[in-house]
Structure 1
Amino acid sequence: MITRDTAAFVAFARGCPEDFGPPTAKAAFLVSPDGFARADESARDNHYMAADGFDAWRALQQHRALHVALSADLPVACFAGDPGMPDGLFPNNVFATVPGRLVIGRMRHPVRQREALRQDIRAFFRDACGYVETDLSTQPHPCELTGALVIDRARGLGFCGLSDRCDEEGAALMHAAFGLRATLLFDLAPGEYHTNVVLALLAGRAAVLAPGGFADPAVAEAIAGLYAPHVARLSAAEQAAFAGNAIALSPSRAWMSQAAADALSPGSRQVIGGAGFGISSVPLSAIEVAGGSLRCCVAEIF
């Protein structure tokens, strides 16, 4: 099922058992922010991106600390960056996996389309891991993978916010590529570019969502209903600090940036903790000026 009918999706989703696959990844990879700089093309539709203040050396230091920190939960590889790909440190928009298969997305902006051509990442999965490719990068419809599509891996459910970074045709291609049971399509609020800034599903057990990031607040409430009572509804301040850009890489810990963790209200902390997650964070201020945060840096390997 792939639909805009929220009621039909919710009715179907409630009957989906948690047997689709593991709720968290077996490994992950990062891409180093070598040559880190402002990507003017990406800034056209990413209001989270700063106009200045890009510090390449500090971004490298913080990214290295992120690599070390996440390695406490699972194996984490890191590929070298490329100065010609200033957004390359956010690989989850371009590369994603299901067991045995690498999915390559189609980016909206040419500066990011270059990332899909990286032969080292493709060869790693093909030759070292034995994964086959599903390459969506050469077709015309934008589909920025797990930036646009937030997935409940335990149930096989997708939540896809439509914007200039993902249209309906692109969403349908991703739904098929990930082999999902059901995908809900909805519009993001004006000015929002990716779903994973306004929605995180933690190991299929809890939802962290920013109602203000949805064009229709009823959609946010419908998603919340699927994960109640473990739902943290973010304020505008929490959303702006990237608290929605969180990820669980193990069944017992949620990761977010230090700024996001500092912005969490006591109520949000209580909800996340009540779902069985400790909260760990890493300072990423130098990286967040580029309009993404911790979850954007992490490409999961299933």
Structure 2
Amino acid sequence: MITRDLEQFFAAAGKVQPDFGPATARATFLVAPDGFRLAEQSAQDNTYMAAAGAFDANRASQQHRDLQRAIAQVVPTVCFAGNPQTPDAVFPNNVFGTADGRYIVGRMRHPVRQREAERGDIRAFFRDVLGREEVELSTQEHACELTGALVIDRARGLGYCGLSERCDEEGARQMHDAFGLRATLLFDLAAGEYHTNVVLAVLAGRAAVVCPKGFADANAAQAIADFYAPHAVWCSEAEHAAFVGNCIALSGDTVWMSANAAAALTAEHRAQLAAAGLRVEDVALDAIEAAGGSLRCCIGEIY
């Protein structure tokens, strides 16, 4: 089922069991920020991006290595080399995604990012090393930027897809099918928002972080929060701006976010996550955040 109808979606969601698959990834993959700089095409619809002068390639590279070192203590993590011709490739989860037995290649909106889908080495890793079947979405015309646009509750097989210039309704339908989801909720992102995973996270199937200002319809944000209550963090505008919503659970007991996000997270919300059994871990990523994404954006998941 794929629908915009909140009542219909949550009536169905309330009946599913958390038996769709593992709630967190078996492994992760990164792409190094080689040639890290402002991607002018992406800046057209990513208001989080800093000006060109704020980009520090050396600092971004070091912070990215620190990220890999940190999360590798929790889950096996592979890092592919970057490409100076694809400065946004540090956010690979928009282009490559996985589900049981297959990998999905998404359709990016901007040509500078469409080049990322041509990476033969990443495709060969999934196809030849991991033995995954390919689901090719990058050659069709509808934008569908995978787990940037689509936040997935992997335990239940539920999708939350925010529509914007980075994902239209047909693209959402194709992702729903590619990931094999039980039900997907469609809603519009607020003006100025480009990806759902900046304003929403579902953590290990039992908690959610919701940034209500990122939703065009406040009712959609509230309905998602209600579904995961009492373990739903309702972010302030300051937390939203600091990328608290761009967090990820990589195990059943940890949630990862950037150091800036962790500093903005209120004590009340930290306690709320702790009550859900999730300890906050953070990594300094301010240099990478200049590119308009944060920790979750850097992490591709292997299920």
Which bracket does the TM-score occupy, shorter chain normalised? over 0.9
Equivalent position SS for 2:83 = coil
Give distance in 1, aligned partners of 2:235 and 2:227. Answer: 17
Can you give the 5+ residue segments of structure 2 that lack an aligned partner in the other structure? none
Partner of 1:206: 207
Partner of 1:268: 269
Give distance in 2, aligned partners of 1:136 and 1:278. Answer: 36
Q: Mapping of 1:125-140 within 5 angstroms?
A: 125-140=126-141
Partner of 1:251: 252
Give distance in 1, aligned partners of 2:253 and 2:73. Answer: 12
Quick check: 1:232–1:267 contact (8 Å CA) kept in 2? no
Partner of 1:293: 294
Quick check: 1:94–1:116 contact (8 Å CA) kept in 2? yes
Q: Give yes or no for the alignment of 1:74 onto 2:75.
A: yes
Partner of 1:84: 85
Can you give the 5+ residue segments of structure 1 that lack an aligned partner in the other structure? none
Partner of 2:191: 190
1:235: Cα distance to partner? 0.5
Partner of 2:232: 231
Equivalent position SS for 2:277 = coil
Partner of 2:63: 62
What is the one-letter code of the residue matched to 1:263?
A
1:169: Cα distance to partner? 0.2
1:101: Cα distance to partner? 0.4
Equivalent position SS for 1:193 = coil
Q: Mapping of 1:114-153 within 5 angstroms?
A: 114-153=115-154
Equivalent position SS for 1:29 = strand
Give distance in 1, aligned partners of 2:266 and 2:223. Answer: 22
Give distance in 2, aligned partners of 1:6 and 1:270. Answer: 29
Give distance in 2, aligned partners of 1:46 and 1:268. Answer: 27
Equivalent position SS for 1:50 = coil
Partner of 2:27: 27
1:54: Cα distance to partner? 0.4
1:64: Cα distance to partner? 0.1
TM-score normalised to the size of structure 2?
0.99
Partner of 2:167: 166
Q: Which contiguous aligned blocks of 4+ residues in structure 1 show a shift greater than 6 angstroms?
A: none
What is the one-letter code of the residue matched to 2:244?
A
Q: Give yes or no for the alignment of 1:9 onto 2:14.
A: no
Partner of 2:106: 105
Give distance in 2, aligned partners of 1:54 and 1:285. Answer: 10
Give distance in 2, aligned partners of 1:250 and 1:11. Answer: 28
Q: Identity over aligned residues, as a percent?
A: 65
Give distance in 1, aligned partners of 2:101 and 2:122. Answer: 15
What is the one-letter code of the residue matched to 2:40?
D
Give distance in 1, aligned partners of 2:164 and 2:267. Answer: 32
Equivalent position SS for 1:158 = strand
TM-score normalised to the size of structure 1?
1.00
Give distance in 1, aligned partners of 2:272 and 2:261. Answer: 15
Equivalent position SS for 1:45 = coil
Quick check: 1:103–1:133 contact (8 Å CA) kept in 2? yes
Quick check: 1:18–1:155 contact (8 Å CA) kept in 2? yes
1:12: Cα distance to partner? 0.4
Quick check: 1:81–1:88 contact (8 Å CA) kept in 2? yes
1:100: Cα distance to partner? 1.2
What is the one-letter code of the residue matched to 1:193?
Y
Give distance in 1, aligned partners of 2:34 and 2:170. Answer: 33
1:72-121: CA deviations, max 9, x gaps? 11100000000000000000000000021010000000000000000000
1:227: Cα distance to partner? 0.3
Quick check: 1:197–1:245 contact (8 Å CA) kept in 2? yes
What is the one-letter code of the residue matched to 1:234?
C
Quick check: 1:258–1:282 contact (8 Å CA) kept in 2? yes
Give distance in 1, aligned partners of 2:117 and 2:273. Answer: 34
What is the one-letter code of the residue matched to 1:219?
A
Quick check: 1:160–1:184 contact (8 Å CA) kept in 2? yes
Give distance in 2, aligned partners of 1:228 and 1:11. Answer: 16
Give distance in 2, aligned partners of 1:2 and 1:271. Answer: 30
